[in-house]
Chains A and B, each alone.
Chain A
Amino acid sequence: MRNVGLRSRGGWWPALCIGTTGCILAVYILLVTSNWIYLGWHDTLYFFSKSRMWERFWLTVWTATISTSISLFIGIPAGYALSRFRFPCRYLFASIIDLPIVVSPAVVGAFLFGITTRFPFDWISEFYGIYIGRNVYGVLLVQFTVTAAFCARLMKASFDMIPVRFEMVSNSLGAPPFRTFFKVVLPMAKNGIIASMIVVWARAAAEWEGLMLFVGATEGKTDIMPFAIYLDWNGGMMGWVTSMSIVCILMAVSAISAMKIIGGRSNVW
């Protein structure tokens, strides 16, 4: 009875798991570095030295920053509301809010294309003379649409990790709710918020399908990096395409690394 069926050295399960992981990893690493392998060090430097590359990079960076700021402004309170408040049909509510980030961004672009010709956008165009459409404002709108809900989700996750007890204690000590929020909740959520902010920024900088359908391409004005990759690829300029891909990959990786360093364990990934 003692030794029946006990000699099971190692087994195949751990080998399968680790083997699969190794293979997958190799494939994904090849995927990500293939651009660089194709292009080679010398050519990469050549493209990096062109100002055309950096104009697009700068456009991507500043549009992403602005739309991230707007998203944060809306996303932080919305995330807090989603986290703390219980109200009927909140699943339906949350599902509708999530919709823009679940469906393909191309679909979102198509829909935005539809609404910009009517209220309230035509009203804004008339009164303020700002036309939101095939220009930078359109870019900002698209980025905002896909990142606002994403931001709210991430903020909700950050706030979920702070126990409600702290707010209860703060209230019992006499602090009004706003004070509690700004002095207790927000500082505790600081790391999570900063980490989420970086991820939201990276997502904004990566948005292009919506632009393709809605904004169209105006050289120098609306062709942020991912969009420019598409345009150049249509034009067959493989060198530009691969070097810009490398820049995008580096942007994404550095953003995620920064997030990991700042956020530590307090994030959703």
Chain B
Amino acid sequence: MTPQEQAELLVHALRRVLTDLDTIADGTLDALDPRSWSDEVDELEEYSAPRVGTIRFEPDEGSVAPAINIDVIRGSRRRAQVADVLRRIEEEIDS
């Protein structure tokens, strides 16, 4: 594998962790939204299910992993910033 191919793979991997994760966060709350269950429920208007407000991840006893709030990930402007920087790195690698 050439250095350029390695660099491209690295950028691809960074994108998967840094920006695709936002899509996963969005997809999670979308999948839990009862308004999106029309394929699963015949009469959606009559179906009663709570709408999930937010999801937090908190460390349990003995864990030192930092807490995460899915809303912060979704609401962050960082997604666009990171995507832009990664795109420019890719352009530099290609040039």
B is a partner of A: no
